[in-house]
Structure 1
């Protein structure tokens, strides 16, 4: 099962890399300037509020609570299945967030604000400077990791979960914080982390 998932991950990574490259070359800058043109409108304000659904402080605080609750239950005399599911969800988000933070440092991509201010675009590599942490989108990573693992747990609600994730991801472009390729990368990292966390959950003897 894991070897199959590995092959699927590699194939998906190659496909997403192709889409990211096309977006970087042809779509990111026009999309950013289009979103910039909407800044005086309600779309910009709405996008900022929607983005709060994946705010790092709130999101990771909830994950910390989830980890504590699941740990208390799993260390007790009669561990429950829901605690294992909760642990899986929290670990998926944590893994996705950690990987995204590493990738942000490696790529050092300019945020849209630099494009508007000084025509800054592209990657500077190995930097954590403010304004150079655009790729991948952290908000998108977190929301896709959460929604993807919830979709795997509650299959009938997969559509609504992914719709919510897509809306939050799109909001990061309209809030002028990311380019579309940043969102694509964040979605891939989040979904991949969720799939691997769920695969490990299914091999749990208590599953």
Structure 2
């Protein structure tokens, strides 16, 4: 398995918890998405324990990239914020479970074993999951936040103008925003940007 978290004490704690158990082998650890991608290409881990928020991206952006380079890897989200707005989007992008960081060492090991055996672990059903921002809506949202016009967004994502407008309408509705400025503000408040 691969441990991906930007806090050294968390990475070291997880690795220490797993060291005494011969059925779980840690093949590496990473502090950011870029390093996680490199290690997934090289090691093809069975399970990736992925922090929801990394310095170079949120899980909804990172999960599809990890799955592209290591399709068999099962991705277990690891967060102190299970109600974070990005959780639903990370599941939509292909994460297979969620473990809260205050879990015991026993729970950590059992979660990893279950993900390996069954391909899933405790998919939470939260109110925010009803208004999941899809990975493509998240792409549009990120480009709106950097100031791109609908035409520019369409060009970058290979979408028609009407499709961009549709995604934008959907994400504005989901985040209860009336205009772009409000959309960016609400998205930042919910940790999506």
Name the structure where strand makes up a greater proportion of residues. 2
The TM-score normalised by the length of structure 2 is 0.23
Q: Which structure has more RCO (C-alpha within 8 Å, separation ≥ 6)?
A: 1
Name the structure where helix makes up a greater proportion of residues. 1
